[in-house]
Amino acid sequence: SAETMRQLYAPFNRNRDRLIVMDIRSAEFTKYAANCMLAVRISFMNEMANLADRLGVDIEHVRRGIGSDPRIGPHFLYAGAGFGGSCFPKDLRALAHTAADHDEPVDILTAAMQVNQRQHHILAGKISRFFDGELAGRTVALWGLAFKANTDDMREAPSLKVIDALTAAGAKVRAYDPVALSNARSIIKDNKNVEFTNSAEAALNGADVLAVITEWLEFRSPNFEDLARKLKAKAIFDGRNLYDTA
């Protein structure tokens, strides 16, 4: 089977051999370990971002600085609202469960999960503090529902935690996503304080503030003067660090 795979992928391996042959258990473990490593990187940056906020440090400068080190590299160093989707949370839990079954501590994996759970509540907490804890009667425009851009996947999406926290505190949410609206509607159908809109512009109607949850390309260059006119409180909560505050 290994030789068959080499023949099949030969046209793609002309510069270097990208095939790694190993036993089945090692291959399965490699898949879990890779996803867990990426999740750990994200949680590390989220933890650094929270500390940076306290210290008056720009986490984007930090990201570019440490990412320039070839030992670290630039990938999966983006602080934000936490990770979701079908792979990272599941694989972290699976490997941690397997470790527990074999009485082997995996403190780093456990910490990554704990950091991510906390991170899902950071953005809603910032919005609440902005209004001195009085969210009742407020309307939040929410851009992005999918757990990441370029997908309609809502599995364990951070937006769900943000929406739950905001609406539980009495706020209303006007939400928009380029492709995930249908899936989001089926999940959030019982929450009467959530309204879905067909455009990012429409989500701003009557909103006090804007929260950006997913890093869709269409959200990256808004008309800030127009946002200032439409948002009653003239505030943006950038959950993906898309905007330069300078």
- Give the DSSP letter string of 22-36: --HHHHHHHHHHHHH
| Direct distance between the N- and C-terminal alpha carbons of the chain, in angstroms, rounded to an integer | 56
Pick from 119, 197, 114, 103: nearest CA to 162:
119
Token couple for 134:
């009085």
Q: What are phi and psi of 90, to 5 degrees?
A: -65, -45
Give the active site residue among 87, 135, 146, 165: 87
Q: Is 101 exposed, middle or buried (0-12, 13-18, 19+ CB in 10 A)?
A: exposed
Q: Which residue has the tokens 């750990």?
A: 40
Q: Does the annotation mark 87 as catalytic? A: yes
Residues annotated as catalytic (active site), given as ranges: 87
